[in-house]
Structure 1
């Protein structure tokens, strides 16, 4: 983030970055858990079909076609889910960005009574996101239905063809087929289908991460020509001759800009909106592409650039000012005074802007701008503070050195990290997690589809599914036993002697085929 250029940083919303770090990176990790099922499932399918072919011959061909159809549907669902997931993460980025901006500017929302408009906006974005979540759930439903129904339909195809051809089958074949198809069912239900979904999400996540990692970075080597020919007498800091620069993604250009600046001078650039005031500073930073002229900076000079966005991270005020640099008490105190930092115990709305203005003082190469304020990724309170504190909306740049004065006891109070208080507060918040009363869960149940009745229906459906599965297995076992008794040799063993008295053996062919039809129709029903 720190290395991104201003143009690249402006294209990355806070919601997109948060969503990418929390969801997209996790999606990449999930791919490694199920990716191997792609080749495992294919290999298992080939082996199972070959074994079944050796038992029932070309009867297995139709089951093979059905297996290929299931694989094709799973792959198609993966493609569709890739499109749905792309749309969904875009809406999630927008929602997270919107919620972050609302939280940062909540006092302005309350002051101007904007709760209802912002609520409608959030609901509108959330409604679009929910639409894609529902589509994703439908695709998951297709995947689950294919997985759970695979073994049953496979059995129906095989046994149906055997029934249609009047071909005999026994318990041995039933046992082998049941075990092999159960393996295939587990592979497709828990592995192959999940792999297709994870791959579709993986491609979306990788494209987003690559787009972020390949974003343009700030290159200090391309910034400017640093000269040693500046002498210490004229204190010349910047010398620009016939400068021409342009944005790579826009047709806007700066042409034939010439000026020089010395240490301590106050330079004000006045112009209408979008006339190129910020672009001039972006050229000094190396953000704009130079197409002509020359920019020379004094190697021994130091510059400070204060952008419109606040770079404030969650830590003590002291660490926000140091910004990773080594602590220097004298310079630290000078920076606090020079920035006019509020030394009261209560932080004002402009404190974040004051913090941000002090951070660059600890950098070797820094730069300075306060342009026309606007609502962007920085909080509205910071923007309002900048509007109130700036003498003119179009104040652009100032080169100056900070003078040092001793700090006050009130200032030192602000600089001491309140570690103990933070730990105590976090402990209290942690203890409150999980204290949800039963009435809350009851309201959730009542707010769901048909409340308690809906839960009872879902429970009944689950129980019915389990009962039907057990009945199907039991009925297939009974049918295969009847087949074994009918076609078993009477002189096989003692058990067959007992079974010789079975009515199945004494049936005529028409009666046996009719009983066979009853077995098959019951299985279908």
Structure 2
């Protein structure tokens, strides 16, 4: 995965790659248990046929003829198994892809109250998948029924022909033939077909893995480290790092007439870059500016060799560093902004030295803050402290409970957007490259922090050669002597597909620190159950009750008992018939069982009737069992889906995607219904792991193994009962065998279960690491950290392989011990009979018990092993059931009046808030009143509590105190009703792989005319109309059909369509250019003029004309009033924030605030008159 090119990686998804590792690779383990039978099966068959010929002569060919017909039938069935397996894998990939989008976006989904439509999407995907599993189950039912009765059919055909040609039944030829036929059945109806079936399924997995391995690879250019051009030394000062640069007449970066283009699936060619040329000299700060879609980020991608060029060349001398601004949404690379495209051509990129890159979407992996900064580099305390200082991280580290040893969740979920951006910048600076590529590094920080970073960090590292995409023009004016600008104009409308739509404007404040943090020493675990305790009977009953109704449960029980009774009874009847023949041959006609009729024809009818009834009952039993299993799987999935959707958001932030997806894929309802804290708490890796693995076991492996274990153990139990009935002396070795089996089973299975759970625990970090690596692939490659991440993956995989190997060897040892015990039992039975009566009548009894005992030797160890496997696989049911029982968000049934809220008045009384896992308050006794129709800007430094205000308003995390909207306490009303009456435009716009219409209106409430009208208002009408399918155009994964600015405009269109009285903007224009920002502000003023608007300010000029400004500091209300009033308070925080914007901007903001104040006063006078 580390070597896949960016263009090739667009053709697949994270879910597909995770599924390759979690499911397809696992198929090899299963197939290797059977594949050798493709060679040994035919050889053993020939040997058994020869022995059968010696007993029955030519009549054995009748039974063999059935087998000859059976084998091609198995090949035919194998083709269907292969077809259904291929289809099920595709459907599973689609479901995992959907889950990979939904789980990270759960916070937004909950705010939009979209749990139901997205829950239906998952259910629909699941229904398609289950239909394929049901078809597979029908085929398995037929196969298993034929396997179960095949020995009876072969025995029946061989004996009937043998009698027809004048053969005399004897104990020897009958029961020796039964043993041989049972062995032949095992070979040709179980082992050989399984080898074909699993082999066919494995070939599909091999093809899928091969397709991935054959994807185009990223080809890194050779990097030459040389001190001839540039020397880099760190000298300690009081507060920063100085870089001593020894220059020559060679430029750091030279871009010569590069061009690049993309080719859509339809074959249309569109230019991304066209004849771009510029030079960056040592010590020069170059700023790339341009409108939306002009190709700013594409230039950096070309320099990093992530974007192929079809003309021109790029030459880099020195070490490059790249830093980004925008937090990662899904994939974490620029490829997500490309719609149905692939790059074409090959240009020339020559690099001499090291590049430092921090991507546009900040990538944070699970680990401590310190580990994220060091990124595998050796720790230098002096250098580390200097980097933390110049990147303005000192105050943030003080706020974290364990400082830089605080473990941040996957995707940096426990950090604010600004903190993620600064950690990404610190990582780049610490790496010490010769040239830095900074992708809008200041847009996510407040004015004072932006000024600090520019003066202490960027203004110093620029001497190494700095190429930067930026929008803080006011800051660059203060350093114009060292700044050169590269202006890019839009090459074509399709260029936006590769652009990240970054703007060139002012400053962006960051959201507060999420208080959900964890101890640095804490490691998540995929499974809490480390002990070897047996899965409780409650789990078995939960599984059975989920699928068996009032009718199915008794049908299943009765069919099992009757089928086994007649199956074993047919052997007993055959022994009586053989005994009758034996006595008749000895002229002992007075000895005849009541079971045997007078004529051979009648006895043949009885035998054939027994075989037919056994087959019919076997089909009924098998179909009923798999029906129960499929219904259990569907029911568990629906329950889990509900629970996951209603889970707290902290759940998803705590557990990795890999772990959750390993469980959730078949039983997802609980997760979707979980409170928001659930999503904050659990890393996405854990979720992905559970979706792809645990429910895969419940769907596929558990039903087959459970049926095997039940069928074989019932057969073994019937054999033991039969042996005791035939000769009561066999009760002694039988009881000894049972006692030994119980001891061995109890001793061994505890270890096996523990190893199985450890194996599951070791698997989740592997999948999480893979998903995280794919998300930060561009950053990893730019830092040359491929070997480190590959070594980490190898270490995790070795840990998993070690535990899996121990698990497999333990099960094999268990099988060997069982084989030995059953062999001793067979010998004991033989000794018991030999030492007793050896009359003709007892000969048939001896033949019957010995044949059954040898059959027991084969079946017992397999049945016990299968039961052990079922018990370990029931932990998957247990793990899924755990997610089903997670806490859900509190949902009141009380609904406010239909016209609520009519004004949009918001009152907070003594509101305090702390996040799960932390006792520290992020909001302290907030008291404020926002009148209906007022516009309020919310500002403050990192950790001030800005986003926590939004969290409490939406009740994502339940606060203390009272929040009233239009006089109604929000904690007393329906949660979904509350959220659907508040509109939000989030900081990170989320789009899903659905139609444009579904992304705007998933409930289908709005007619097309209304949707087109709203799209025209946000200036997206022409863009959507240009799509081939208009509103029904499928949006590519992660919203790749649109640039960031366009995605934000779609979120604005959603808010207009909802038509609510309260609108919340959570740094909504942080990642858009000035033109898009102005458009959003204009639409808000026009469309929401009578609404209450709350805006977390990302640019001060956007809220300077608001009615009021709320200034938060450390979770308390520092200031609340009109912008003009707060500006005039020279000692206040807001006035200080205005001052940090620079003299020109400060003067402009003051004038705007004064004009807005005068305008409002005049409006009040007009309204009063």
Scaled by the length of structure 1, what TM-score is found?
0.76
Unaligned runs of 5+ in 1: 372-388, 398-410, 489-495, 505-511
Which of the residues 458, 471, 475 maps onto 2:556?
458
Kept in 1: contact 2:320–2:436 (CA 8 A) = no
Kept in 1: contact 2:225–2:318 (CA 8 A) = no
Instruction: Name the residue aligned to 1:293.
Output: 312
**Matched pairs, number:** 471
Kept in 1: contact 2:45–2:187 (CA 8 A) = no
Which of the residues 285, 295, 299 maps onto 1:280?
299
Instruction: Name the residue aligned to 1:243.
Output: 258
> In the aligned structure 2, how far is the partner of 1:501 from the partner of 1:524?
24
Query: Does the alignment pair 1:448 with 2:547?
Result: yes
The change in CA–CA distance for 1:438 and 1:196 in structure 2 (over 3 A counts) is closer
Query: Does the alignment pair 1:266 with 2:286?
Result: yes
Instruction: Name the residue aligned to 1:45.
Output: 45
Moved more, 113-122 or 303-312: 303-312
Post-superposition shift, 1:519? 0.9
Which of the residues 351, 355, 370 maps onto 2:423?
355
Moved more, 61-70 or 178-187: 61-70
Moved more, 55-64 or 153-162: 55-64
Query: Does the alignment pair 1:395 with 2:410?
Result: no
Q: Secondary structure at the match of 1:131?
A: helix
Residue by residue over 1:65-86, the C-alpha shift from the partner in whole angstroms, topping out at 9 and shown as x without a partner, is: 3212222222232222222222
The change in CA–CA distance for 1:109 and 1:332 in structure 2 (over 3 A counts) is farther
Post-superposition shift, 1:333? 3.5
Kept in 2: contact 1:147–1:188 (CA 8 A) = no
The change in CA–CA distance for 1:271 and 1:454 in structure 2 (over 3 A counts) is same
Structure with more of its chain in strand, by fraction:
2
Post-superposition shift, 1:189? 4.9
Kept in 2: contact 1:5–1:217 (CA 8 A) = yes
Query: Does the alignment pair 1:304 with 2:356?
Result: yes
Higher relative contact order (CA 8 A, sep 6+): 1
Post-superposition shift, 1:168? 3.4
Instruction: Name the residue aligned to 1:518.
Output: 602
Which of the residues 251, 256, 268 maps onto 2:275?
256
Structure with more of its chain in helix, by fraction:
1
Kept in 1: contact 2:37–2:192 (CA 8 A) = yes
Residue by residue over 1:431-488, the C-alpha shift from the partner in whole angstroms, topping out at 9 and shown as x without a partner, is: 899999988876655443324x5323212211111111111111222222333344x3
Kept in 1: contact 2:580–2:591 (CA 8 A) = no
Instruction: Name the residue aligned to 2:1018.
Output: none
> In the aligned structure 1, how far is the partner of 2:304 from the partner of 2:86?
35
Which of the residues 348, 358, 374 maps onto 1:322?
374
> 1:377-456 residue pairs with structure 2 within 5 A?
394-395=501-502, 418-419=519-520, 422=522, 445-451=544-550, 453-456=551-554
> In the aligned structure 2, how far is the partner of 1:279 from the partner of 1:354?
22
Kept in 2: contact 1:227–1:298 (CA 8 A) = no
Query: Does the alignment pair 1:149 with 2:149?
Result: yes
Post-superposition shift, 1:225? 13
The change in CA–CA distance for 1:396 and 1:200 in structure 2 (over 3 A counts) is farther
Instruction: Name the residue aligned to 1:170.
Output: 170
Instruction: Name the residue aligned to 1:473.
Output: 571
Kept in 2: contact 1:41–1:184 (CA 8 A) = no
> 1:97-176 residue pairs with structure 2 within 5 A?
97-176=97-176
> In the aligned structure 2, how far is the partner of 1:120 from the partner of 1:390?
41
Residue by residue over 1:380-420, the C-alpha shift from the partner in whole angstroms, topping out at 9 and shown as x without a partner, is: xxxxxxxxx977963389xxxxxxxxxxxxx9xx9x98245
> In the aligned structure 2, how far is the partner of 1:223 from the partner of 1:115?
49
Instruction: Name the residue aligned to 2:465.
Output: none
> In the aligned structure 1, how far is the partner of 2:79 from the partner of 2:432?
50
The change in CA–CA distance for 1:153 and 1:500 in structure 2 (over 3 A counts) is closer
Residue by residue over 1:207-266, the C-alpha shift from the partner in whole angstroms, topping out at 9 and shown as x without a partner, is: 222333333333222699999779826673211222244568874554432222234423
Moved more, 342-351 or 514-523: 342-351
Instruction: Name the residue aligned to 1:29.
Output: 29
> In the aligned structure 1, how far is the partner of 2:378 from the partner of 2:298?
32
Moved more, 28-37 or 303-312: 303-312
Unaligned runs of 5+ in 2: 231-245, 322-354, 402-413, 441-469, 474-499, 505-512, 610-1169
Instruction: Name the residue aligned to 1:60.
Output: 60
